[in-house]
Structure 1
Amino acid sequence: MNILTVVARIEAKQDQVQLVKAELIKLIEPTRKELGCLQYDLHQDNERPELFVFYEGWQSKALLQAHLGSEHIEAYLKAVDGAVASFVISEMTKIG
């Protein structure tokens, strides 16, 4: 099985770190229960606490897209509106 690896990098605005962190943590439990979710781990940078990274594994791009359209992602986006400085999703394939 080819696993779709996703790295999502979220940078909170300096004065919004706690809000963004709390909202990101809320995503973990419902996402791990989603069809096709193999891994969904949240990390926070040790030197730059405003920087968060999700390391994810999905069975397919279609199931990732379903996740991105889920109610909990929609609720997260509303909750952090204006609190995130940057958000980048990279879809990757393991080569070694």
Structure 2
Amino acid sequence: MRKSYLTIIARILVEEEHREFVKAELLKLLDVTRAEEGNISYDLHQDNENPNFFLFHEKWVNRELWQKHMDNKYLAHYMKVTDGKVEEFILNEMTEIGN
């Protein structure tokens, strides 16, 4: 039987005048998150037609380890410095159902 992992899709729409700042802050999260316990993948994407739209595709061993990630100091710093610069943040917790 195949192991079921937690998949996170985080959609981030930023205000155009803050795009490069927020992008730089998002990029800072990559290496530290990929090194976290339970992280399988943590990939950041930028939309080709709307450069103000970013998407994280994450895979975690389980929800408990993802929640630990959500409480880390790096994410807290990101939230603090980007406050008021993000128009929309949508997060989906998902489970892969097919190969």
Inter-partner Cα distance in structure 2 for 1:69 and 1:86: 20
Q: String of CA shifts for 1:35-93, please: whole Å, max 9, x gaps.
A: 00000000000000000000000001011110010000001011101100011110111
What is the match of residue 40 of structure 2?
Answer: 38
Q: CA deviation at 1:94?
A: 1.0
Inter-partner Cα distance in structure 2 for 1:84 and 1:69: 19
Q: Tell me, yes or no, if structure 1 residue 57 matches structure 2 residue 62.
A: no
In the TM superposition, what are the counterparts of 1:51-90 in structure 2 within 5 Å? 51-90=53-92
What is the match of residue 9 of structure 1?
Answer: 11
Give the share of equivalent positions with the same residue, in percent.
45
Q: Tell me, yes or no, if structure 1 residue 92 matches structure 2 residue 94.
A: yes
Q: CA deviation at 1:2?
A: 1.1
Amino acid at match of 2:37: L
In the alignment, structure 1 segments of 5+ residues that lack a partner are none
Q: Which has the larger radius of gyration?
A: 2
In the alignment, structure 2 segments of 5+ residues that lack a partner are none
Q: String of CA shifts for 1:12-57, please: whole Å, max 9, x gaps.
A: 0111100110000000010000000000000000000000000000
Amino acid at match of 2:27: I
User: How many residues are treated as equivalent by the alignment?
Assistant: 96
Structure 1's consecutive aligned runs of 4 or more residues displaced over 2 angstroms after TM superposition are none
Amino acid at match of 2:22: V
Secondary structure, aligned partner of 1:55: strand
